Amino acid sequence: MYQNINKELAKIFNNMSHIYEFLDDKFRALAYARAAQIIEDLPDDIRNYVATGKINDIRGIGSHTVDKILEYIKTGKIQKYEELKKLIPEDFLDLMEVPGFGPKTLKRIYEELGINNKKDLIEALKDGRVAKLKGFGEKKVQNMLKGLELYEASKNRLILWEALQIGETLLAKLKQLKEIKNIELAGSLRRRKETIGDIDILVSCDDKDRDKIINYFVNLEDVKEVLAKGDTRASVIIKEKDREVDLRVLKPEEWGSGLQYFTGSKEHNVHFREIAKQKGLKVSEYGVFDAKTEKRLAGATEEEVYEIVGMQWIPPEMREDRGEIELALKKNIPRLVELEDIKGDLHCHSTWTDGFNKIEEIAKFLLENYKYEYFAITDHSKAVKVAHGLTEEDVLKQIEEIDKINKKLGFEFIKKGIEVDIMLDGSLDLPDEILAKLDWVVASIHTHFNRDNTDRIIKAMENPYVCVIGHPTGRTIGVREGYPLSDEIFKVAKETSTALEINAQPLRMDLPDMMIKKAVEYGVKLVISTDSHSLGNFAYMKIGVANARRGWAKKEDILNTYSWNEIKKFIQAKRKKFGVKV
Ligand code: DGT
Ligand code: CA
Ligand code: CA
Ligand code: ZN
């Protein structure tokens, strides 16, 4: 049985959309793109929707699409998709995912240069043939080559969210074996790095149970290929995304030292062992030993491994040798923010713009599934035309709707917000009179990514109504690097009492960890937000918190760990500073 059928279907529908676009069937291209997005964002396994008949009620999924979903669940294939694939050059399907290589572009290159494979395409990009095509030019071609390079590099690494889904699924399956005494994700996944090479899993058990555990692992239905299988470890390729997963089996008395070693990072471990050496100790995955007598001193828990070297236990997210060893020696490791500290989500979109759910639906979902005290609806402003951004008038109407829903709910659960666009000159897309009526204002850049945008962000922070800068660097992992920004933004954020966002969308993770760390050093307040466009997206909070922890953020640094009253004080302090009515 397929584990992640939603994702598989979304991918197929996306590909179908691309092929239809290549074939100039805009209507079908759009319909399948929308279906893909909806399926990707479903909070539950699509088979549950089929079983309950709810599949026929999902907005944006027509009866022809439903037929194809049923066909796929039944046969593992969609006949129409198999036929469509034959209508385009083989290499093009993957290439269409690369930014700058959309179906339209590839079609022109195909028709005007007769190119039908990746190798020839790269050649034509490099020798100037593509640049000469009408509407292309040198700059566009350079961007295409850059996009391809980023795409190839990112193909080898998973983004954190995907890796975490895979890792946790495998963990849950292994946990069914009662022989396993301890089990954890290790490596970069335990450190919650933004991208993951391979997935590492550690378990401990009695020696006699090792074979059983390793055999169970390599025979899981998720496994596509076994790369290596030994006494204490196995490496496999799993079906999902063709990823490598390493399993290591430790003795219970080695659990702590093994977990410490295989969590990494390599840099952290090298520094850790250096300190141990200075103290006459020898550290390996098997334990901590007296360097002279070889006597075993610790190894069963991570805490004792760190303690014997004179350190506090260090949260895995900090283990990058960025100064955490020094802190641990001084017993100064901060208590990092935790998921349970979060009191609300302050960035999400509704059907008013490009979200998939109505405001009331979102409110009910959050009341049922999250222990939040508040959340903010922050739809786009009018400059974002593709999302049908809100005009002044729309904002006023939305305020009315939220008032009505809050009244029904019996308390001000929903905060009235906006994600207002920062224009090229740093001004905002909506006038102050409108912003002043809102509880919460996120200001974001969605255009002009090819310049240093420090000036625009600073100007936006100087608006008294802007509470937070959304996804400050504008990066998309594996697609687009963030635009350049100077440290000036941290200084001005602090001075103006403007928060910076830690956007938890899996491809954004923006601010990135190193910039979070810097923001914390400057004393800037941060907001962890999911930027949800559908109900399933609210779960991203978990990786937002993980990223905050990688930037050493404490509970106090994160604005949405405070009650709404406290947040109001933060907002009012800024308005006072700027001399506007609070
Ligand atoms: P990845 O898989 O590229 O995302 O990064 P990691 O950190 O998961 O690296 P991986 O899977 O090669 O190894 C897992 C951990 O094992 C790593 O974080 C530290 C430890 N480790 C592996 N090889 C070495 C090594 O040569 N020296 C040291 N000190 N530690 C190592
Ligand atoms: Ca790894
Ligand atoms: Ca590994
Ligand atoms: Zn945005």
pLDDT digits (tens, 9 = 90+) for 385-412: 878 899 999 999 999 999 999 999 999 9
- CA 329 to ligand 2 centroid distance, Å: 27
Please provide the DSSP assignment of 105-165 as one string. Answer: HHHHHHHHH---SHHHHHHHHHTTTTTTSTT-HHHHHHHHHHHHHHHHHHHTSEEHHHHHH
Please choose, from the candidates 549, 491, 553, 561, the residue with its C-alpha nearest in 3D space to the C-alpha of residue 520.
Answer: 553
**Ligand 4: centre distance to CA 442 (Å):** 9
Quick one: how many helices (H) and strands (E) in the chain?
Answer: 24, 17
- 272 phi and psi angles, rounded to 5 deg: -60, -45
Which residues, judged by CB distance below 6 Å to any ligand atom, belong to the binding site of ligand 1?
187-188, 196-198, 200, 261-262, 264-266, 269-270
Please report, for the chain, the start and end positions of each structural domain, with discontinuous segments joined by +: 6-155, 157-250, 264-333, 339-577
CA of 38 to the centre of ligand 3 (A): 34
Q: For residue 336, how far is its CA from the centre of ligand 3 (angstroms)? A: 26
Question: What's the token pair of residue 321?
Answer: 């040798």
Q: Single out the residue of 536, 529, 528 nearest to residue 361, CA to CA.
A: 536
pLDDT for the residue 26: 92
Q: What is the pLDDT of residue 80?
A: 96
Q: Which of 185, 202, 236, 262 to mutate to test the pocket of ligand 1 (most atoms within 8 A of CB)?
A: 262
Q: Whose CA is nearest to atom 18 of ligand 1?
A: 264
CATH 1.10.150.110 fits 6-155, yes or no: yes
Which amino acid is residue 290, in one-letter code?
Answer: D
pLDDT at 460: 98
The residues near 338 (Cβ < 8 Å, ≥ 6 apart) are: 545, 555
Q: Which amino acid is located at 327 in the chain?
A: L
Q: Which residues contact 533 (CB under 8 A, 6 or more apart)?
A: 41, 348, 349, 354, 355, 356
Q: Which of 158, 162, 188 to mutate to test the pocket of ligand 1 (most atoms within 8 A of CB)?
A: 188
Could you identify the residue written with the tokens 């923001």?
A: 519
Distance CA 449, CA 275 (A): 44
What lies within 8 Å, CB to CB, of 60 at 6+ separation is 34, 35, 38, 356
Span 339-577 CATH architecture: Alpha-Beta Barrel (3.20)
The β-bridge partners of 501 are 527
Atom of ligand 1 nearest to the CA of 200: 11
Helix or strand or coil: residue 373?
Answer: coil
Q: What is the pLDDT of residue 1?
A: 33
Partnered with residue 418 across adjacent β-strands are 379, 441
Pocket test for ligand 1, best of 200, 263, 477 (most atoms within 8 A of CB): 200
Locate the ligand 1 atom nearest the alpha carbon of residue 198 and give its number: 2
φ and ψ of 249, to 5 deg: -115, 120
**DSSP letters for 197-231:** SSEEEEEE--GGGHHHHHHHHHTSTTEEEEEEE-S
Query: Which residues are bridge partners to 440 per DSSP?
Result: 417
Q: Which ligand is nearest to the CA of 236?
A: 3
Q: Are 387 and 355 in contact (CB under 8 A)?
A: no
Q: Which among 484, 478, 475 is positioned nearest to 195, based on CA atoms?
A: 478
First to last CA, the chain: 57
Ligand with an atom nearest the CA of residue 195: 1
Cα separation of 222 and 202, whole Å? Answer: 18
pLDDT at 282: 97
**Residues 59, 64, 66, CA angle at the centre, nearest 5°?**
60
| CB 477, CB 507: distance < 8 Å | yes
What's the fold here for domain 157-250? Beta Polymerase; domain 2 (3.30.460)
Tell me whether domains 6-155 and 339-577 share a fold: no
pLDDT of residue 2: 39
Region of 317 on the Ramachandran plot (φ > 0 left; ψ -120 to 50 alpha; else beta): alpha
pTM: 0.84
pLDDT of residue 51: 87
* CA 400 to centroid of ligand 4, rounded, Å: 23
What is the 3 state secondary structure string of 476-543? ECCCECCCCCCCHHHHHHHHHCCEEEEECCCCCCECCHHHHHHHHHHCCCEEEECCECCHHHHHHHHH
Name the closest ligand to CA 235: 3
pLDDT at residue 5, rounded to an integer: 85
Instruction: Render pLDDT for 68-83 as a digit per residue (tens, 0 to 9).
Output: 999 999 998 999 999 9
Look-up of token digits 């080559």: 145
**3 state DSSP class of 45:** coil
**CATH T-level fold of 264-333:** Beta Polymerase; domain 3 (3.30.210)
The size of the chain, in residues, is: 582
Low-confidence ranges of the chain (pLDDT < 50): 1-2
CA distances from 132 to 22, 81, 146, 159, 300 (A): 21, 34, 18, 36, 65
Residue whose CA is closest, atom 23 of ligand 1? 266
Residue type at 462?
E
Looking at all shown ligands, the one closest to residue 471's CA atom is: 4
- How is the beta sheet containing 281-284 ordered, strand by strand? 281-284, 287-290, 296-298
Distances in Å between the alpha carbon of 215 and those of 218, 219, 250?
5, 6, 15
Strand pairing report for 499-503 and 526-529: parallel
Name the residue with tokens 């660097």: 473
Q: In which residue are the tokens 């109504």 written? A: 465
Bridging pattern class, strands 244-250 and 233-238: antiparallel
Residue whose CA is at the smallest distance from ligand 1 atom 5: 188
